[in-house]
Structure 1
Amino acid sequence: MKLLILSCLLAGCLAQEPRPCSSPPLLTGALTMSTQKESLWVYAKYLYDAMGQRIRLMELGTYENKTFSYDVLLLYREATMYEIHRHNRTCNKMPLKGDFQPMGIPKDASLLGQVVLGSSSEPGEGLLVNTWTGDLPEKAGKFMSTVTEFGCIPVSTLFHTDRFGWMVFSYFDNVIGILDPQDLNPPPYCQHAEMKAGDKEPVDFFSLFNNKH
């Protein structure tokens, strides 16, 4: 009887037409990222605040077989990025370009399909997800995103741009909320950091992962 009820509920869910959705405005979790040429691989803990348009990434990765660590705070409302060096309590302050892009699925995206990751045979064995595709803002490239049917929690996203090729993000250990909101503010020792533009272009989200060399 329980299996019959579960099957009916699942069939009802699969029968409903998925709709574009917005992810929770506050998220904490982890992600991995790799590039098309496989020269860069990143594991990062992330903090995401859609209301304040802030993202923090604490990365550990490899680039051309060399390891690195990287701690950055992106403040889109201030068009500013901080490179945070906790070992010596210093910061680099740089201009940040581009608009904040909230997690989730934009309204003009196209549905590719709905599937169960894992198994639908027993409760807890599977995860119902929707996969969407569409254009990045200003036709800068393409994306394909998979989110959970319930909650619109990110599972994976593939981006393609002419400049960087394919970039693959996989999300896991996602938790709604942020344990310590102060982690999304510059540390006190960043207070007197000066903007360093130099001869480099302002960074954006994609170039952030491709400037390891």
Structure 2
Amino acid sequence: MRLLAALTCLLAGCLAQKPHPCSSPPLMSGAFSLTTQDEKLFTYALYLYDALGQRMRFWEQGTYENKSFVQDVLLNFREGALYDIIDSNRTCTKKPLTGDFQPLAVPKDATLLAQVVLGSSSGPGQGLLVNTWMGDLPKKAGKFLTTVTEFGCIPVSTLYQTEQFGWTVISFFNNIIGIADPSLLNPPDFCSNAKTEEEPVDFLSLFH
């Protein structure tokens, strides 16, 4: 009985601990959808995320201002380059990539809004415990609101707000820890002769 009471107290103490800012796993893959407040943009994308090498790759399809688009882009922040890849005709355009790599993480200065259960807490496996945080985008570019799982710090959703575009909503799903084929984070062979454009791009501009 005493052992049961001790375990109950220990469990209660663990659950009562205040959530802390966290970092998502350094290697991830999955999918997300993105929509903007002005309803000009909707996109669905598969993604690869490598925080160790500071690389990302997106396969997007969506609509922007009622026009459909498909895009395959590889971002290498250490190289400062973005590759716009068209596999169908084996062409590639290289562009200067500005800005620093921003890992999937809850910044240390973020403010905890709430810890809630998505779904139901009535039975095992019916809900997901998540934490919602808010704070400022880098360089005070706007505000963000992000939700991650309590265990693993897996991204669930992110809202960010800028003066130019209003609120943008990103919903993550089918996340997997790890990358099945890391070679996809390297430019294809036909990108070795890629034409380099002079106009730089930044990460957020990819979704507008």
Scaled by the length of structure 1, what TM-score is found?
A: 0.90
Residues 21 and 104 of structure 1 are in contact (CA less than 8 Å); yes or no, is this contact kept in structure 2?
Answer: yes
1:114 match: 115
Residue 10 of structure 1: how far off its partner (Å): 8.1
Pairing of 1:1-213 with structure 2 (within 5 A) = 14-197=15-198, 200=199, 202-210=200-208
Residues 55 and 74 of structure 1 are in contact (CA less than 8 Å); yes or no, is this contact kept in structure 2?
Answer: yes
Task: Kindly provide the amino acid, as one letter, of the partner of residue 205 in structure 2.
Answer: S
SS at match of 1:58: strand
Distance 1:205 1:170, change over 3 A: same
1:121-158 Cα distance to aligned partner (Å, 9 max, x none): 11110000000001111111111100000000000000
For 1:100 and 1:64, how far apart are their aligned partners in 2?
Answer: 28
For 1:208 and 1:167, how far apart are their aligned partners in 2?
Answer: 13
Residue 203 of structure 1: how far off its partner (Å): 1.1
SS at match of 1:24: coil
Looking at secondary structure, tell me which structure has more strand per residue.
2
Task: Kindly provide the amino acid, as one letter, of the partner of residue 140 in structure 1.
Answer: A
SS at match of 1:87: helix
Task: Kindly provide the amino acid, as one letter, of the partner of residue 201 in structure 2.
Answer: V
Distance 1:9 1:173, change over 3 A: farther
Residue 12 of structure 1: how far off its partner (Å): 5.1
The number of aligned residues is: 201
For 1:77 and 1:189, how far apart are their aligned partners in 2?
Answer: 21
Residues 25 and 153 of structure 2 are in contact (CA less than 8 Å); yes or no, is this contact kept in structure 1?
Answer: yes
Task: Kindly provide the amino acid, as one letter, of the partner of residue 39 in structure 1.
Answer: K
Return 5+ residue gaps in structure 1 as ranges. 1-6
SS at match of 1:71: strand
Distance 1:134 1:65, change over 3 A: same
Distance 1:10 1:39, change over 3 A: farther
Residues 14 and 114 of structure 1 are in contact (CA less than 8 Å); yes or no, is this contact kept in structure 2?
Answer: no
1:4 match: none
2:4 match: none
Q: After TM superposition, what 4+ stretches of structure 1 lie above 2 angstroms from structure 2?
A: 7-14
Task: Kindly provide the amino acid, as one letter, of the partner of residue 206 in structure 2.
Answer: L
Return 5+ residue gaps in structure 2 as ranges. 1-7
Residue 163 of structure 1: how far off its partner (Å): 2.2
1:87-112 Cα distance to aligned partner (Å, 9 max, x none): 10000100110000000101111100
Aligned-residue CA RMSD (Å):
1.6
Residues 84 and 91 of structure 1 are in contact (CA less than 8 Å); yes or no, is this contact kept in structure 2?
Answer: yes
For 2:124 and 2:135, how far apart are their aligned partners in 1?
Answer: 32
Residue 16 of structure 1: how far off its partner (Å): 1.4
